[in-house]
Chain A
């Protein structure tokens, strides 16, 4: 009896596996939802719609962008990890924001870094340190010397607590011992610009994409890009590596992932289609016109980047939590 049952179960499971792989090979047979954890009209959303519109032609099924904004992305990511890993619900993850949501105990996130299947990275927007055009700080050296001379007085703006910009400030403080900023967490690039221009903030940490037009118009001055290579959008601005701070490497990335446990053929199909779409001249032009740098990473490279970003975020999140002035 028990043997019969075993045989039956074995046959059933084989059948199930076979049908599963058949499903994976036919994929996709219905529309795919592409979740964006930020409201419509934001930079992640705009880039998602551009790549979605190109990829759906090759995929043969519509890709619908679904905005699940709120709580700095946490609402959307919570939604995504709860979905079936069948490839019909994928979404954008924003490293290191996704990591810091996981790592910050106050957030009580229901997901961990293991709950995602990374598929492909789309954008890597490096960090930038910038001041008002008439600021006394002409270089990073000026800024760091001032922050060392009178610690805790130079008001430095982030784009939110535990954002990549917050981590960049902590990296700078680590790389230049004695330097200590007074942190002011603002809600984004627009707020930073307003407060810098009104003289309420001394220096801002943000990403190249949000500031490139204002550097060109001469309203603000970029002091350094927190990367190891110069940004093609700000070719005259030195990198922190060039300036002797090789550990100050911080950027904001956006990539596409799914819930954990997606079948390999589905991941492969999505990866190939999305990779082609991201290399499409239309995609490249539309993003670069906004000063957003494309960086396609797939497979092991992206897995490794995810793991590195997580490790780095972990270190600085813990540090941020223990810093006397948060």
Chain B
């Protein structure tokens, strides 16, 4: 079957009443997570994974993906209305979006953000449909040494780009890998670091760890923040004027391109594309002084970029099995919980599932446009919910979710301990992304390393004699050296989502 037929079959599956309902629930929950300040997409996706246990894998993955990109839409609303980004990728939107709201043009800001997000999301998904199948076919020829090197590149990029200090990033990546080693040795079958506790035989669960590191930690941080007043702004006129449209066409086009290409590179994260898109618009604008004072391009470009990024970032996950950000790593965890390992083999063996999920991105973006344009007033009202109830409710949800993973109280403990660790890490400014990536890639990295060495009867030269593998290892080294020399621009280096 060619791509078109697969896509049509996927669309048919995604449009079944059941899967469409899951996509809708995912979009609503995602928007909700975006709207609730403090709870980002990684946290939201992580704490909602247990909700999907009763579903079949296709439905579960459609819903979790919808939560992920839905949160990217929802974050805008708080940025505009209370000048607090609902998730980190909406920081840039605050600059001009909140100014627009103060000037009574809040509706237009939200409108252009939703439209830009829609265009960015749809175009990136179409590009994904074109790019993914040949990439997956190519990756099918990768052996264990190539996958080892590829995962190393991903891990090095995330480590090198996260945080201000390479040393801190490396330490966190190694910590993630170490935690991943707890449990039964994947090759020899001997228990490692289990201290005789049977609950540790299967390792420290990835889901409770990320629920803690993101969910619980972010709730703790939210509690510290003061309550912000919601701006009363005109939400009646959502559609921009003809003059505003003219300004935005270029911004949306460039935002889509920037978001898409940065989405292909592991480790970039969701914030960088928004910054880059904003800076590009400001640089090429004839009236750069309007930026920061309510320029509509300053909302359109980053919002488009962040959704184009969100959908493009699915490409390395679906075709190579490489998560490029912590949120995608959480999504990868959701695949694994459902017994599916994302990567070229899944693409080949379960095209029905992969294409249904991809097709659901198209439908989800349409659903989100509907949810965000006419219903934006409803979301704005949610912002008036008192924090204390939201926090306690979310925390309760986390505890139930962690328990429901395996009906094991141990997992609740893991989540709470990780919540405290995650809170502390944010307080002393340690990057969380490398830890999460190390944790999810650890078992695969170890398995491919050891399988490679079994293939070569213990000879390490197997990594140097295969050209593709060698090339990837050189890239990892270059990334780490560049990062040690502080070559990346500062906006790029401080992001961590």
Contacts and interface: CB of A to CB of B under 8 A. Distances in A.
A70 B202 contact: yes
A200 B189 contact: no
A104 B187 CA distance: 13
B99 to A, nearest CB: 52
Interface in A163-218: 182-187, 190, 194-195, 197-201
Interface of A: 39-41, 70-72, 74-75, 78, 101, 104, 106-108, 152, 155, 160-162, 182-187, 190, 194-195, 197-201, 325-326
Contacts of B455: 155, 182, 184, 200-201
Interface stretch (B101-109, B136-144, B275-283, B389-397): B136-144
A108 B191 contact: yes
A200 B141 CA distance: 9
B339 A39 contact: yes
A41 B339 CA distance: 8
B410 interface: no
A106 B447 CA distance: 18
Contacts, number: 71
Contacts of A161: 187-189
A53 B157 CA distance: 50
Contacts of A104: 189
Contacts of B349: 190
A182 B140 contact: no
Interface in B447-477: 447, 451, 454-455, 457-458
B345 A75 contact: no
Interface in B249-286: none
B193 interface: no
Nearest to A75: B201
A71 to B, nearest CB: 4
A187 B447 contact: yes
B345 A194 contact: yes
B184 interface: yes
Nearest to B186: A187
Q: Which of the four size classes fits the interface of chain B?
A: 20 to 34
A195 B144 contact: yes
Interface string B289-315: 000000000000000000000000000
Specify the main secondary structure of chain B where it touches its partner. Answer: loop
A71 B199 CA distance: 11
A198 B143 contact: yes
Contact of B140 (A75, A107, A187, A198): A198
B226 interface: no
16 contacts: A39-B339, A40-B339, A70-B201, A70-B202, A71-B183, A72-B184, A75-B202, A78-B198, A107-B189, A107-B191, A182-B454, A186-B451, A194-B140, A195-B143, A200-B143, A325-B458
B151 to A, nearest CB: 16
A72 B339 contact: no
B197 interface: no
Interface of B: 140-144, 183-191, 198, 201-202, 339, 345, 349, 447, 451, 454-455, 457-458
A74 B201 contact: yes
Nearest to B201: A71
A39 B141 CA distance: 29
Contacts of A108: 190-191
Contacts of B188: 106, 161, 326
Given A78-B198, A198-B141, A184 B345 contact: no
Given A107-B190, A198-B141, A74 B457 contact: no
Contacts of B143: 195, 198-200
Contacts of A74: 184, 201
Nearest to B196: A108
A40 B183 CA distance: 20
Contacts of A200: 143-144, 455
Contact of B189 (A72, A186, A199): A72
Contacts of A185: 187, 451, 454
Nearest to A41: B339
Contact of B202 (A71, A184, A325): A71
Contacts of B189: 71-72, 101, 104, 106-107, 160-162
A223 to B, nearest CB: 21
Q: Which 5 residue pairs across A and B have the least CB separation, nearest first?
A: A106-B190, A200-B143, A70-B202, A71-B184, A184-B454
Nearest to B187: A185
A275 B178 CA distance: 48
Contact of B198 (A40, A75, A326): A75
Contacts of B185: 106
A194 B136 CA distance: 13
A134 to B, nearest CB: 15
Contacts of A162: 189
Contacts of A70: 184, 201-202
B457 A182 contact: yes
Contacts of B458: 325
A161 B345 CA distance: 22
Given A75-B202, A106-B190, 4 more contacts: A106-B189, A182-B457, A195-B144, A197-B140
Contacts of B144: 195, 200
